[in-house]
Each structure stands twice: as C-alpha cells, then as structure tokens.
Amino acid sequence: MNTALTALPVPATAPDLPPAVPVPLGNAAGLSVWPASARVASHGDVAVGGVSLAEAAERFGTPVYLLDEGEVRERCRTYLRAFPDTDVVYAAKAFLCRALLHWVREEGLGLDVCSAGELEFAVINGFPAERIVLHGNAKSPDDLSTALRLGVGRIVIDSAWEIARLSALVPDGARQKVLVRVVPGVSAGGHAAIRTGTDDQKFGLSLTDGSARHAIARILDQPHLELVGLHCHIGSQITTVKPYLTALRRMVGLLARIHRQHTVTLPELDMGGGHAVACRPGEEPLDIPSLGDRIRRELATSCTAAGIPVPRLTIEPGRALVGPAGVALYRVLAVKRTGDRVFVAVDGGMSDNPRPALYGARYAPRLIGRRSTAAPCTATVVGRHCEAGDVLAADAALPGDIHPGDLVAIPVAGAYHLSMASSYNAVGRPPVVAVHEGRARLLIRRESLADINGRDIGL
C-alpha cells in the first residue's frame, strides 16, 4: 500500500482567540498527560495549542472538546519514524471528522474503517479509497458492496460467512484484495471489554481450533478474492511490547505453514493497534519507538528462522494518535456533599464520554480559569444524566472550594468520546474545536434540539 501523498492546501481558519499568557510549568504543573503544547497561565488558566481554555469555553460554550492539531500531527510523525517501511493506518473508529482526515492524509497515513458510513464519509471528503482498510466482525451486504463500489484497498475477512458473500459481490473479471483476521490466543488489554486476542470474544478466526487455516484455504480457492496477508489485533490499552511479540511469532508461524501447505507467500502482515496512552499522571504509555524497533527486529528474525520472506508490515494506531490530543471542558452545575463524599456535577457526562461506564476508564480532571489556595479534596465528577453510572471520574483531586460556575477540564479526551457519543436525555453532542498556534476553529458544531427533533418525522 503506497503511502506517498501530495500535500493538500491548508484550510482557512476562523478568527483567532486571544492567546493566554503562558507560564511554562510543564509536568511540574500536573500536565504530564496533556498535549505537549499545554501551558499554565498565572491566573490558573491553561492554554493548549496557544489557545486559552477559559476563552474557548466562553466563545464556544460548554461542554466543548478541543483537539490539538499539532499534537495529532506530531504523533503521526512519531509513528512514521518508529516504523519506517511500514504502512501506518489510522483507526478511524477512535474519532473521525473532515479535518482529522486531512491531517492524517497529509502526514502520510492510511485509514481503517468499520462500516460503509465511515468508508463513504472518508472517500467523499477526499481520502483515497485504495489506502483504506475495511474492518468489521459482521459486515452487512451494504458494507461490502460499498467497499467494492468505491474501490477500497483491503477488506479484512472476519468470519467464514464473509468469504462466499464477498466473492459473490465481486464483479466478473475483478479481484478484491483481502486479509484474514486471525485470533492468536494472546490475552492483552486494559479491560475485558477491550481484549480481542483470545477465543472467547467476537472478532476474528481462531488459530487454535483451525478455523483460520480453513478460511485461508477457502479464500485461496476463490477466483474473485486475492489473499494478500494476515491481520491480528489483540486488544487495546496494551502497556508492554511482550504481547505483540508473542502474537507476531504466532502469525509468522501461520505464514510459514501457508507457505508450506499451499506454496503461497503472503506479502502483508497487519499487527493492528491498541497501544496504551496514559490517562492520569503516573501512568506509563506504550513506548512507540521501542515497540517499532522490537517488532521490526522480531519480524525479521522470525521470518529468517521460518525460511520465508519478510512481509510488508502494517500497524493501526487510533487512540494513541488522537486520545492525548483532546481536552474536554465542562461547567460545574452543582456540588453536593453527602457524608464523606463530594459530588461535582457538570453539564456533560456519559452522552459525550461513555468510556468510564463501559470499561472503567479513569481520568484526572483539573480546575481551569482560577487559581485556588483551598486544600484539595477527593471528589467524584458526575454527569447530568439520569443514570447512577453517569460518572466521569470517581477519585478526582480537586480544590475543596470548587463551586458551580467553575470550569473543569479532562485531558486525554480525543478518542472514543465523541465517536461513541449519543443524545441521551435529548442532550445534544458537544462541538469540536481545533486549536493550533494560537488559533481556534470550529470543526463540528454543537448538536441542537432542532437536529434531534428533525430526525423524528412521524406521529
């Protein structure tokens, strides 16, 4: 998959926000998990991308999500440096919008999508279809036909049912390039809901029970399908390199077996993503340069030992590219002290960030816009929705004098917040604002009641 790109024109920006006066306190100010551009101002404000968060809240309202363009671009470049001669493919399910498509394309990355909707959105907005990989454990006929119509680069076969279904849709005289998603029997990931490398979950075809080998044999007999490689994704929020090396060795073993049994050399190996990011100070992200070095060395060593050529490597980072680039801003609506518990209720919640409720994600909220001298308290930051599980941060260290009207920021908010958001309780989804070099521009507007009402067309 060719990743060479022609640079696109830079879009016009909205009027600038007045930049904050920064004090470069860095990690000493508790900003270790914030974008690298984050700076604390003397009055307790924080600037990201040169833009004052307090000013952004006033201009765009709350809740609002800020996305640091420079942070996204630098993270793309970190991957390209760590994985030379590799196809780096952004996992769009983490977050998808027109501007982000432009950034990752301009930086030379490919794209992976999970539905006809994500695919068509990307192509309509200028992303080359041949540089897109289509995933999905249960692809609909529309997913598959849309992929073929648009000329998607790769389709990842996730079940035996897809083989005949896809083959029947490919036009006569054409061949669709496919990968097979293999479950290597490796348990890794930060929570049971995001571990995908073992046989007890819904994705892929098992290496252990032979279903992956059976599917491979069937695909090789299909004249309309061209098997170009294997795919493996073992989970998310993985903090160490070791599980990737174990999975890689097993995948190389399967490549070698295919070579022996079918005299076929598959030219591609996609090792997925799932690279951990730090959400709170003290947590350690996965070291991407170390991952790149060790994966590439292990791939070369294992292939030499197995007597097969080294395949072209693909990786699929999602959260690791956009998660740390995002900051969510909320306005405090109420503070309630019940016994020894302090509840800080904000104007967003599980409708814009369902991750704590789904798989126990933990964050480090921060008071923004004023400097407090009050002793800290341990608070539970909760949302506005009528659910006891609507908790954004269960053990947040916040000033003891926090009160309604204060601003609270949650960093590492760029991935799996708005991409999984809803309009629960008819609360519209927040806007997304890009910040870069002292400028702020609206990327996605706030969802209004008119938007929600407009979808309801019957009586």
Helix (H, G, I), strand (E, B) or coil at 194: helix
Q: What CA–CA distance (Å, rounded) separates 45 from 370?
A: 6
Secondary structure E strands in 93-215: 110-113, 132-134, 154-157, 176-183, 205-206
3-state percent breakdown (helix, strand, coil) of the chain, nearest 5 = 30, 25, 45
Residue found under tokens 């990989």: 133
**Helix residue ranges, H only, 21-140:** 53-60, 69-82, 98-106, 116-124
Q: What CA–CA distance (Å, rounded) separates 277 from 395?
A: 19
- Residue 63: is the preceding peptide bond cis (ω within 30°)? yes
Look at phi and psi of residue 274 and say left if phi exceeds 0, alpha if psi is from -120 to 50, else beta.
left
Residue found under tokens 């990201």: 48
CA distances from residue 157 to 27, 88, 265, 349 in whole angstroms, order as listed = 44, 20, 18, 36
- Catalytic site positions: 386
**Helix residue ranges, H only, 385-425:** none
